């Protein structure tokens, strides 16, 4: 017996339900600037909680920047900037595994607004680049990274 024959709902009803589930974010393919899928984020008591596996990310704002065909490749830890940042290493891993990754924001430096390639960076409260996740993630041009 076909698997759908055992349910008391039609394929059309299931299709409509899937559209609703996608709207609720369960299958959200967007990735935050922190480098983790939006599905890992929750709004709690006016703040944000980002949980990746058994680890938590100090992400302070939900900022979707990429869309990926497989967000599991973004289960990474930030240990620096660029390819050492969860966003950079997740994107590299996705491409390496023949997954698709697309920017959903303009490639623009968060500091000087220059258009072009960016480097994901974790920064402290003073805007200085650091090597660990702080909850403040920015996309910077190479010049602003070098000047930092």
Q: What's the mean per-residue pLDDT of the chain?
A: 89
Residue 121, H or E segment: strand 119-123
Structural domains counted in the chain: 1
Decide if 78 contacts 132 (C-beta within 8 A): yes
Mean pLDDT of 100-111: 96
Residue 4 lies in a domain: no
- The CA distance from 130 to 124, in Å, is 7
Q: Read off the pLDDT band of 1 (50, 70, 90).
A: very low
Residue 133 lies in a domain: no
Residue 19 lies in a domain: yes
Residue 135 lies in a domain: no
Model pTM?
0.80
Residue 147 lies in a domain: no
Expressed as residue numbers, the domain containing 60 is: 11-107
Residue 33 lies in a domain: yes
Residue 41, H or E segment: strand 41-44
- The CA distance from 42 to 15, in Å, is 26
Task: Give the Cβ contact number of residue 31 at 10 Å.
Answer: 28
Residue 122 lies in a domain: no
Residue 95 lies in a domain: yes
Q: What is the pLDDT of residue 3?
A: 62
């Amino acid at each position: 017996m076909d698997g759908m024959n055992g349910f008391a709902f039609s394929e059309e009803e299931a299709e409509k339900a899937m559209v609703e589930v996608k709207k609720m974010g369960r299958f959200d393919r967007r990735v935050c600037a922190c480098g983790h899928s939006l599905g890992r984020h929750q709004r709690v008591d006016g703040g944000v909680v980002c949980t990746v596996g058994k680890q938590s990310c100090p992400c302070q704002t939900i900022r979707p920047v990429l869309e990926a065909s497989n967000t599991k490749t973004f289960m990474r830890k930030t240990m620096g900037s660029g390819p050492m940042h969860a966003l950079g290493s997740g994107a590299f891993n996705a491409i390496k595994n023949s997954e698709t990754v697309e920017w959903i924001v303009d490639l623009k430096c968060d500091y000087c607004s220059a258009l072009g390639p960016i480097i994901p960076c974790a920064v402290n409260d003073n805007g200085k680049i650091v090597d660990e996740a702080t909850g403040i993630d920015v996309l910077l041009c190479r010049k602003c990274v070098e000047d930092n």
